[in-house]
Chain A
């Protein structure tokens, strides 16, 4: 057994992050660790990569019991961890990063750059990375940095590779490359621990899976003997078909609330033709960067249109700036929650009540929304210590719910949700879907963009495909499939 964790428990003060979790990793196998956010995956991975020792229980590597307090100890024992955030030094070259602390020396005791670059090139080739070892690491794309991190592990002859949501920031092609590399590591007899929310990936890559729930062991399966349904049920305690709320029956879209007629957003020819009924959830699908975000922002921020018009509740929109969109009754949850949505250092209460600030005179008393905030926190089941807690301490799902709460306390008439569940665990996902449906049912239409087609298909009443800034196809949710949407989304595909 390459690695064995037995009855591992970890407490942080009064909080028990892990309770009696066990896991065994065989050489030449890939072992998935699955669980909602807060289920204890990251804590377990940190114990295995030496960040801190378990409070009780044992960790054995190659049959020998270890007790690590620092990541270097784990690294020395052959554990290579590829975290979501990288620990490569951006101002050093790739070669310098690979050899950090073990730089080859020449006879004079100086760094032998030529040899370092030569060997780096070979190591990079080993992991299938065609890269100049002399470039600064900070200039590389995320995927390449990840590969360098892996190359570093390969160079050190690591036996155990821990991947913490490695594909979260990768495109499809880059992810494929990563998968090939992982396959190769596995056939070289390495052990892989793999954390990801993306089930198809796990079936593609892994041999077995351990599921955690609320810090406890919830199940262990061989990948060939299980299916997505069973994994989700184990992870959430609820089955997959309950993930999405029931759609509206056909013909129950309600009167049109938002209409885009022949709209061309800046820099795109268009036209975008789109109508959303008062009780509908409509999704914008398409390849990345086809103008989906320009469309949502044109509605909300009121970008100048090169042609066409946008009608909201029968009135042509002519505002400029988000404040105008909000004034018209539109709310938007941005795709990049941390940069464009949240006030990270501020409390949850301030983040939610910020929805009441637009349009208020600066000299007016600040909105005292204590009760409204508390009401939304309860309604959306936002998990927190108290509403004075800084929002940066909340999980992705709870942060997203807080942004929803911001618009709910204001009471918007149209909600635009870019990537409604990015970085959100499955439990919170289903709660957010249910809430969006509740909004639509109550007469607040929802416009959604998403990179995840299954999400659009499961959630939306209608899916509109955008290609190069124009709407090219439309499907009803129950008729839509990933194949149909992709065919329409790709240039020259059947629209």
Chain B
């Protein structure tokens, strides 16, 4: 019994140690520190409060998509269809029917559509046991096709003013979408940490076999994760559409891999891991800040893509190495 007493005596130090270690297990935090340090030297104006809030507003679509993405990824699945979802949402909202119609259509339709796509993905992945990568990639290609059909190949038009206000509006310096993001992120964090769904999803990601044998509803979890991912992608699509204010071709293609990168930077490797919503937010913010930093430093789009790709690959490698 003396051992137990000793354990309790050390607990405080251990908690600190564990906290420090889990901090390092999430690459987004050191990455943010590094980015801020670089900015302080190269582009100090990026570090002013107004600019940081602008970056926050820019980061909202990516952050929403990434929060959605982290759910299947925690359960060792993935959702590459979010690009297609965003594309369809975008051109649909730009149709006169939606732009001039009642507000609920511009909000309810995208979310319902995202949920339906998530359900379709999940049906193939959880019940047919098809590869998540291939299924969702295929669905994404289908949806991009659908978006061309909807827009007739010549997108444009305007969107509902409220959608614009939601995406671009501000209260003083504070972007409305940023506040909305933080509220949604808090709810998502609670869902992951405090719900049966969250606990079961982490367990399934850690070991599908053990989760199944342990009587967890592995299929239902995957369905829920994919449906939520679809809804989050649709929400990202709404904000992005409000942001640009019109329909365009293949909006959201960039967000697919960027969302995966944000999740990995946030500490969730393919198959569970240390990550939570806070890490994903930090990852999304870091990637958006990086784009601004590189633009500010005169680095062109091609080089930005190269850096972004290197971050995805590097983060995945880092995650794997950490597991050793």
A contact residues vs B (CB 8 Å cutoff): 301, 321-323, 325-327, 332, 334, 339-346, 350, 353-355, 357-367, 378, 381, 383-386, 388-389, 406
Q: Which one of A323, A327, A343, A353 has the highest number of Cβ atoms from chain B below 10 Å of its Cβ?
A: A343
A195 to B229, CA, bound (A): 51
Whether B213 is near chain A, meaning CB under 8 Å from some CB there, is yes
**B199-A357 in contact (CB<8A):** yes
Q: Which one of A322, A355, A366, A381 has the highest number of Cβ atoms from chain B below 10 Å of its Cβ?
A: A366
Whether B215 is near chain A, meaning CB under 8 Å from some CB there, is yes
Whether B14 is near chain A, meaning CB under 8 Å from some CB there, is yes
Chain B residues lying within 8 Å of A386, measured Cβ to Cβ, are 7, 11, 14-15, 18
A327 to B217, CA, bound (A): 13
If A357-B196, A361-B196, A362-B224 touch, whether A346 touches B203 (CB-CB below 8 Å) is yes
Chain B residues lying within 8 Å of A353, measured Cβ to Cβ, are 199
Chain A: which residue is nearest B195 at the CB level?
Answer: A366
Q: Kindly supply a per-residue 1/0 record for chain B positions 279-316, scoring 1 wherever the CB is within 8 Å of any chain A CB and 0 otherwise.
A: 00000000000000000000000000000000000000
Name the one of A358, A360, A362, A388 contacting B214, with C-beta atoms under 8 angstroms: A358
**Lowest 6 A-B CB distances belong to which pairs?**
A358-B215, A343-B206, A362-B197, A326-B215, A323-B215, A366-B199
Listed by A's residue number, 8 A-B pairs whose Cβ atoms lie within 8 Å are A301-B213, A321-B215, A326-B214, A340-B210, A344-B206, A358-B217, A362-B224, A406-B214
CB distance from A338 to the nearest CB of B (A): 9
CB distance from B162 to the nearest CB of A (A): 29
Name the one of B18, B216, B273 contacting A345, with C-beta atoms under 8 angstroms: B273
If A322-B215, A345-B323 touch, whether A362 touches B209 (CB-CB below 8 Å) is no
Whether B198 is near chain A, meaning CB under 8 Å from some CB there, is yes
Q: Which one of A362, A365, A378 has the highest number of Cβ atoms from chain B below 10 Å of its Cβ?
A: A362
Chain B residues lying within 8 Å of A360, measured Cβ to Cβ, are 196
- Give the secondary structure class of B's interface: helix
Whether B4 is near chain A, meaning CB under 8 Å from some CB there, is yes
Chain B, range 201-245, C-beta contacts under 8 Å to A: 202-203, 206-207, 209-217, 220-221, 224
Chain B residues lying within 8 Å of A357, measured Cβ to Cβ, are 196, 199-200, 203, 214-216
Name the one of B11, B203, B212, B273 contacting A354, with C-beta atoms under 8 angstroms: B203
Whether B110 is near chain A, meaning CB under 8 Å from some CB there, is no
A381 to B7, CA, bound (A): 12
Known: A340-B213, A362-B217, A366-B195. 8 other contacts (CB 8 A): A339-B207, A339-B210, A341-B214, A342-B210, A346-B202, A361-B196, A365-B194, A366-B199
Chain A: which residue is nearest B10 at the CB level?
Answer: A385
A388 to B19, CA, bound (A): 10
